[in-house]
Structures are given as structure tokens and as C-alpha cells.
Amino acid sequence: MSASSSSTNPMSREDATTLLPSVQDKYGGVMTEMTHPMDPSLFSTLLRSSLSTWTLQGKKGVWIKLPKQLIGLAETAVKEGFWFHHAEKDYLMLVYWIPKEDDTLPANASHRVGIGAFVINHNKEVLVVQEKTGRFQGQGIWKFPTGVVNEGEDIHDGSVREVKEETGVDTEFDQILAFRQTHKAFFGKSDLFFVCMLKPLSLEINAQESEIEAAQWMPWEEYINQPFVQNYELLRYMTDICSAKTNGDYEGFTPLRVSAPDQQGNLYYNTRDLHSRN
């Protein structure tokens, strides 16, 4: 084992035998990524001496990334005062804060992102589905295709993908008409749900066998007259917004790919209002 993975402040040969390998971050912290099995008692010894050294060096946050296969080392870190920051499928990230002051560690991801797709054809028929599982199964309720936007996926791409997966219909993204934020949606996390308008590029329906009981083009008036839609304030607003959009009276947010100090991203904004004044 060596400390040669320390990228910005290579440690001496002596350190290499008494400290965990680490790299420094730009916020005054250090990160140790364990990659090879280690005896827990050796890990404990190295962790203690490393923490002493990092404390003397004025370090703040200390991160330990444990791959799934090395989860047996987590108990040792917890005994030294570490807690969990987040986990993904194959690793657990533990963290510890050295200073006496409150930590300024970045928060874990807090939101899931979902979409509902409003797809209406030239006959004023809307694309709707009945789901095989979940809250509304078996109740004969026709609803917009919905789905979860993946980590790393653009909202507009996610909505086109979900419509294709659930119904087989090809679409082109138009606008985000509205969105809703709720809390305690899932394991305590918050939820952002974007109502997206998409233009159909094809009409033939192939319902997804695993998740969708049925899919169809349904006359808009028939959709909005469902008690399911009429009974809920949220759905009444959504249908009002969709109707207004269909009539050309409503403007949502349109995505535009723009560069920024840190990276590329999509800016969603009211393009009609902004560009009409230029």
C-alpha cells in the first residue's frame, strides 16, 4: 500500500506507512478511497494516525469512500465518529468534520425528478395510459404518461424517453408548462414533477408490456371529464393549463443549451416573453 494517490500534496515515505492514502479537495478536506482489502485493526490504526495528522494540518471534512466489497471497514470508521453522507449502488461515502464549528459539508441529493407528458394530436385527442402497478391500478383511470428522470438525464430527454417506452409514440419536446414540488415523497426525499408538453411525431401505440395495462388516444373532453381529474385541484389546474396551451394562450418554459462558468446546461425560460421584446 502506498500514499502515492495523494495528488496535490505527496506524502513522505514515512507517512506512507502510517497514514491512509488520500487526496485533498479544494474546500480544505481530504478524501480516502479504499480500493483494496485491509485488516480492520490496521485500518483502525491508520485511520487514527491519519486523523491526528489531518487535525494538525487544519483539515476540515474527511471523506472515506468504501466500495461494497470493503463495507466491513465501515464499523471501524463509525467507531471513530464518522457518519454516512450518501451511498450509491456500489459504494458508501462516510464523512467526518474535524473543526469545532458547525460543518459546511455539502448536502446529499435531496430531490427526485419526475415528468408527466401532455401529448395531444391534431384531432384533439390526448395520449393516456392505465398503469399495471401503483396507486391507480385497476381503477380504470386514464392518465398522462409519467416517469422518473434519471440522474444525468435532461428533463426534456427524459420526457421523450418515457412516452416512447410507455406508449411507443415518438415525440418532440415543446415546453415545461408547470411544475410541482412536494415533500416526503419517498424515503423522506422531496420531489419535483414537471408537466411537459410534447408534440407527437407518430400515432401508432405499442403499450409497454411490463408497466402499462393499456394506452390510447382519448378525446380531450373525455379525459377531463373523468372524476379522477375533476376531484383534484392539482389536476384541474393542470388541465386548465394544458387547454390554455393548446389554444395558444399560455407560455411555459422552453429549454436552451447554454454555457456557464462551471459547465454546459439547459436553461428553461419563457422564450416568448424574452424574445418578443428584442
* Catalytic positions, written as ranges: 165
Cell of 23: 487526496
Residue 189 binds a second copy (CB under 8 A): yes
Instruction: Show Cβ contacts of residue 10 under 8 Å, excluding neighbours closer than 6 positions.
Output: 3, 4
> Is 33 assigned a ligand-binding role in the annotation?
no
DSSP track, 78-96: HHTT-EEEEEETTEEEEEE
Instruction: Show Cβ contacts of residue 249 under 8 Å, excluding neighbours closer than 6 positions.
Output: none
Q: In the range 220-239, which residues lie near a second copy by CB under 8 A?
A: 228, 232-235, 237-238
Of the candidate residues 9, 83, 172, 206, the single one contacting a second copy (CB under 8 A): 83
Of the candidate residues 7, 12, 17, 104, the single one contacting a second copy (CB under 8 A): 104
Q: In the range 159-178, which residues lie near a second copy by CB under 8 A?
A: 177-178
Residue among 268, 82, 83 nearest 192 (CA): 268
Q: Shortest gap between Cβ of 19 and a second copy (angstroms)?
A: 23
Residue 109 binds a second copy (CB under 8 A): yes
From 2-10, 13-21, 46-54, 87-95, span contacting a second copy (CB under 8 A): 87-95
Residue among 105, 87, 107, 109 nearest 30 (CA): 105
Residue 212 binds a second copy (CB under 8 A): no
Residue 44 binds a second copy (CB under 8 A): no
Q: Shortest gap between Cβ of 101 and a second copy (angstroms)?
A: 8
Residue among 61, 106, 70, 112 nearest 91 (CA): 70
Residue 107 binds a second copy (CB under 8 A): yes
